[in-house]
Structure 1
Amino acid sequence: MAKVSMREVADRAGVSVGTVSHVVNGSSKVAEATAAKVNAAIEELGFVRNAAARQLRSGHSNSLGLVVLDTSNPFFASVAHGARQACDEAGLALLIGDSGTDEQREGKYLDLFAEQRVNGLLVTPTGSDLSRLEAIASRGTPVMLVDRDSNGYALSSVTVDNIAGGRMALDHIIAGGCSRPAFIGGPQSLPQVADRLAGAAERADESGLELPVYSTPELTILAGRDAGEKVVGLPDDQRPDAVFCANDLLAVGFMQAVIMFSDLRIPEDIAILGYDDIDYAFSTIVPLTSVRQPAALLGRTAVETLLHENASASDDHHDRRFTPELVVRGSTRPI
Structure 2
Amino acid sequence: MPVRIRDVAERAGVSVGTVSNVLNRPEEVSSDSVERVTRAIEELGYIRNDAARKLRAGVSTTVGFVVLDGQNPFYNDVVRGAEDEATRHGIAILYGNTDEDVSRERMYLDLFQEQQVRGLLIAPYGDVTARLQRLRASGIAAVLVDRFSGDGRFSSVSVDSVAGGRLAVDHLIDTGRRRIAFVGGPFDIRQVNDRLAGARAAAENAGSHVDLEVIATGAMTVDEGAAAGARLLARSRREWPDALFAANDLLALGLLQALVVDGRARVPDDIAIIGFDDIPFAGAAAVPLSSIRQPSRMIGRTALRIVLEEADDPDSIPRQTVFPPELIVRASTAG
Q: Which TM-score tier does this pair reach, normalised by the shorter chain?
A: 0.7 to 0.9
2:229 pairs with 1:228: yes
User: Offset of 1:70 from its aligned partner?
Assistant: 1.4
Tell me the distance in 2 between the aligned counterparts of 1:328 and 1:111.
42
Deviations 1:271-308 (A, max 9, x none): 00000000111000000000000111111100011112
Aligned residue for 2:310, secondary structure, equals: helix
User: Offset of 1:93 from its aligned partner?
Assistant: 0.6
Tell me the distance in 1 between the aligned counterparts of 2:138 and 2:317.
15
2:181 pairs with 1:182: yes
Tell me the distance in 1 between the aligned counterparts of 2:331 and 2:292.
14
- Equivalent residue, structure 2, for 1:11: none
- Mean Cα deviation higher: 198-207 or 164-173: 198-207
- Equivalent residue, structure 1, for 2:78: 79
Q: Tell me if the contact between 1:157 and 1:320 (Cα under 8 Å) persists in the aligned partners.
A: yes
- Equivalent residue, structure 2, for 1:42: none
Tell me the distance in 1 between the aligned counterparts of 2:301 and 2:147.
15
Tell me the distance in 2 between the aligned counterparts of 1:164 and 1:83.
25
Deviations 1:160-198 (A, max 9, x none): 000000000000000000110110000011000000000
Tell me the distance in 1 between the aligned counterparts of 2:323 and 2:84.
19
Tell me the distance in 2 between the aligned counterparts of 1:186 and 1:201.
15
Deviations 1:189-228 (A, max 9, x none): 1000000000001111121222111100000000000000
Amino acid aligned to 1:227: A
Tell me the distance in 2 between the aligned counterparts of 1:70 and 1:165.
20
- Equivalent residue, structure 2, for 1:249: 250
Q: Tell me if the contact between 1:242 and 1:270 (Cα under 8 Å) persists in the aligned partners.
A: yes
Tell me the distance in 2 between the aligned counterparts of 1:129 and 1:136.
11
Q: Tell me if the contact between 1:177 and 1:333 (Cα under 8 Å) persists in the aligned partners.
A: no
Q: Point out the structure with max Rg over C-alpha.
A: 1
Same amino acid, percent of matched pairs: 44
Tell me the distance in 2 between the aligned counterparts of 1:310 and 1:68.
20
- Equivalent residue, structure 1, for 2:275: 274
- Equivalent residue, structure 2, for 1:259: 260
Tell me the distance in 2 between the aligned counterparts of 1:129 and 1:308.
21
TM-score between both structures, scaled by the size of structure 1 = 0.81
Tell me the distance in 1 between the aligned counterparts of 2:109 and 2:124.
11
CA RMSD of aligned residues (A): 1.7
Aligned residue for 2:317, secondary structure, equals: coil
User: Offset of 1:110 from its aligned partner?
Assistant: 0.6
Q: Which runs of 5+ in 2 are unaligned?
A: 1-26, 28-53
Deviations 1:308-334 (A, max 9, x none): 222234231011000000000000036
TM-score between both structures, scaled by the size of structure 2 = 0.81
Amino acid aligned to 1:259: V
* Structure with larger RCO (C-alpha < 8 A, sep 6+): 2
**Mapping 1:40-55, distance limit 5 Å:** none
Amino acid aligned to 2:114: E
- Equivalent residue, structure 2, for 1:318: 319
**Mapping 1:277-292, distance limit 5 Å:** 277-292=278-293
Tell me the distance in 1 between the aligned counterparts of 2:56 and 2:308.
21
- Equivalent residue, structure 2, for 1:216: 217
- Equivalent residue, structure 2, for 1:126: 125
Residues 1:57 and 1:317: Cα distance change in structure 2 (over 3 Å):
closer
- Equivalent residue, structure 2, for 1:163: 162
2:306 pairs with 1:305: yes
2:101 pairs with 1:106: no
Residues 1:217 and 1:57: Cα distance change in structure 2 (over 3 Å):
closer
- Equivalent residue, structure 2, for 1:330: 331
User: Offset of 1:129 from its aligned partner?
Assistant: 4.7
Q: Which runs of 5+ in 1 are unaligned?
A: 1-27, 29-54
Tell me the distance in 2 between the aligned counterparts of 1:117 and 1:167.
41
Residues 1:211 and 1:57: Cα distance change in structure 2 (over 3 Å):
closer
User: Offset of 1:132 from its aligned partner?
Assistant: 1.1
Q: Tell me if the contact between 1:64 and 1:121 (Cα under 8 Å) persists in the aligned partners.
A: yes
User: Offset of 1:130 from its aligned partner?
Assistant: 1.9
User: Offset of 1:83 from its aligned partner?
Assistant: 0.6
Amino acid aligned to 2:299: L
- Equivalent residue, structure 1, for 2:4: none
How many residue pairs get aligned? The number is 281
Q: Tell me if the contact between 2:56 and 2:139 (Cα under 8 Å) persists in the aligned partners.
A: no
Q: Tell me if the contact between 1:248 and 1:277 (Cα under 8 Å) persists in the aligned partners.
A: yes
Tell me the distance in 1 between the aligned counterparts of 2:105 and 2:320.
22
